[in-house]
Amino acid sequence: MTITRHHSRLPCGSRELDLSRTHVMGILNITPDSFSDGGRYNRLDAALLHVEQMLSAGATLIDVGGESTRPGAALVSVQEEVDRVVPMVEAINARFDTVVSIDTSTPEVIRGAAGVGAGLINDIRALQRDGAMQVAVDTGLAVCLMHMQGEPQTMQQAPVYESVLDEVNNFLGRRVQACLDAGIERRRLVLDPGFGFGKSLQHNLELFAAMQQVRPLDLPLLVGVSRKSMIGQALGRPVDQRLSGGLALATLAVVKGARIIRVHDVAQTVDAVRMAEAVLAAAQN
C-alpha cells in the first residue's frame, strides 16, 4: 500500500520537480575519501562526464558532495569544501538542464552554490549548523532535512533508541517547525529518515519497514540507501556487490511512497523505479 504525500511540485531555485512520480538523484562525490567512489570524480572533466552519463540514464537531480559523511570521515575545512563544490555546481548548471542538489551543512557552501545555480540543500544536519538556517531562508532553495543521531565521526559506535520511528519523527517534526518559524515555506521541504546515520542494522530495517509512518506525512520523502552498510550487513556483501540489495530497497521505497531515491547506480535504479511505478499505476486503474 502506498502513502500519498501531498506536495505535487517542489520548487528548486529556477527549476521545479514534479513529484507525481519518483525521481532518481545521481550521486556525485567530489571527495578523496567517500566510502564507495572516493577520488574518482575529483577532476572536472571526469565529473562532468559522469554527470552526463547519469542524466542520460534517467537521473533528474545531481547531488554534489564535497565532504565525506561516511562513519569516521575526516572533517573538511570550510574553504576546501567551498572550493570543491561551488565551481562544480557552476559547471554542471552551465552545461546541463537539471536540478543540482548540494550535499552540505556549511552555510558558506550553501550561499556560494545558490549563487551559481543550485536548487536543493541536502543537509544531513537538518540546518542545525550555525548560520545554515538563515542562509536557507535567504537563498530560497528547497531543503531536505535528514535525521542523524550524533556526528559522522562517531555515529555508528553505539547507536541506541527506545523507538527509532518515534525518535526520527520527533526530530523531523521539530526541524520542520523550526524551518516554518524561520520563514521557509512548507512546500520547499523534503524529509530523509537518515538510513545508516547513527543507526544499527536492526534500526535501519525497522525504520524502512515503517516508512509510511514517517511524519509529517504531507512532506515528500528522500531515501538514500545506495551501497550502504545495511545492505552489506544483511546480505554479507562488500561495497562493490550491493547493487541487487539496493535495487530491492529502491523498489520497496517507491511502493512505500518515496519521491526521491538517491543512488550511485542510476541506470539500474531508474529501471527498477519505473517498473514499480508501472505496477502501481495498473493497480489504480
Task: Write out the catalytic residue numbers.
Answer: 228, 262
Residue 142 gets the label, from left (phi > 0), alpha (psi -120 to 50) or beta, of: beta
Return the residue matching grid coordinates 567517500.
34
CA distance 227 to 264: 8
Strands 142-146 and 99-103: unpaired
Cα separation values, 113 from 65, 107, 204, Å: 11, 10, 31
